[in-house]
């Protein structure tokens, strides 16, 4: 019996079909002597994060139900070089290889596979540096245009929104722990809200009517 293979096909848009990839990969598996254990077909762009069918392939690999993943080309499998390298390493830990019809075979247990992984690691680091550079450049350009970035000093959107509930529960005699658990926030956040509220009350009391603090 040959090695068990999962066929993975992906197209980018709904008006495309996986039929051609499926036919080509099925024929490829037959010629190479693979036993097709499952066929997975997916529609989604290369950058799409939620790939349900690919997760199923990974689950089969982890369960040791397949020995190899067959794709028409590596761009069908990986979202990026970083993603490709990450999934290859996961598959390697389960003794599963990825083979593309263009002749690229990734078996990280072999010297050839490890050499390709080293090469990919360099590309992945280069990609991360490029992304970081673009982000820094974009932030600098936005700042130069006078745009305020991030949460500003004194802004507490979530805690300010929950403050009335926190104070109402405090008035009912609820503990900080109970309030934190009930509202899904930390005890420190509860304490901070109550502290700010009491501080504001003291400021209002000490400020004469009709004048500004």
Active site residues: 12
> Cα–Cα distances in Å, from 103 out to 28, 98, 138, 154, 168?
11, 11, 39, 58, 67
Per the DSSP assignment, residues forming a β-bridge with 8 are 40
**Separation CA 111–CA 89 (nearest Å):** 14
Q: What is the DSSP string of 112-135?
A: HHHHHHHHHHHHHHHHHHHHHHHH
Q: Is 59 helix (H, G, I), strand (E, B) or coil?
A: helix
**Packing angle, helices 157-171 and 187-206, rounded to 10:** 80
């Amino acid at each position: 019996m040959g090695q068990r293979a999962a066929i993975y096909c992906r197209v980018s848009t709904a008006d495309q079909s996986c039929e051609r990839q499926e036919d080509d990969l099925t024929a490829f598996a037959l010629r190479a002597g693979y036993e097709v254990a499952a066929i997975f077909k997916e529609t989604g762009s290369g950058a799409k994060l939620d790939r349900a069918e690919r997760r199923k392939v990974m689950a089969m690999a982890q369960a040791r139900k397949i020995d190899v993943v067959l794709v028409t080309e590596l761009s069908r499998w990986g979202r990026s070089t970083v993603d490709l390298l990450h999934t290859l390493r996961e598959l390697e830990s389960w003794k599963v290889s990825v083979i593309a019809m263009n002749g690229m075979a990734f078996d990280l247990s072999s010297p050839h596979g490890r050499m390709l992984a080293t090469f990919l690691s360099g590309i992945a680091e280069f990609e991360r540096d490029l992304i970081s550079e673009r982000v820094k450049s974009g932030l600098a350009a936005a700042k130069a245009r006078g745009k305020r970035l991030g949460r500003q000093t004194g802004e507490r959107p979530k805690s300010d929104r929950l403050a009335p509930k926190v104070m109402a529960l405090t008035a009912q005699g609820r503990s900080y722990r109970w309030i934190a658990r009930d509202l899904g926030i930390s005890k420190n956040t509860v304490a901070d809200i109550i502290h700010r509220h009491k501080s504001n009350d003291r400021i209002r009391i000490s400020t004469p009517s009709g004048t500004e603090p």
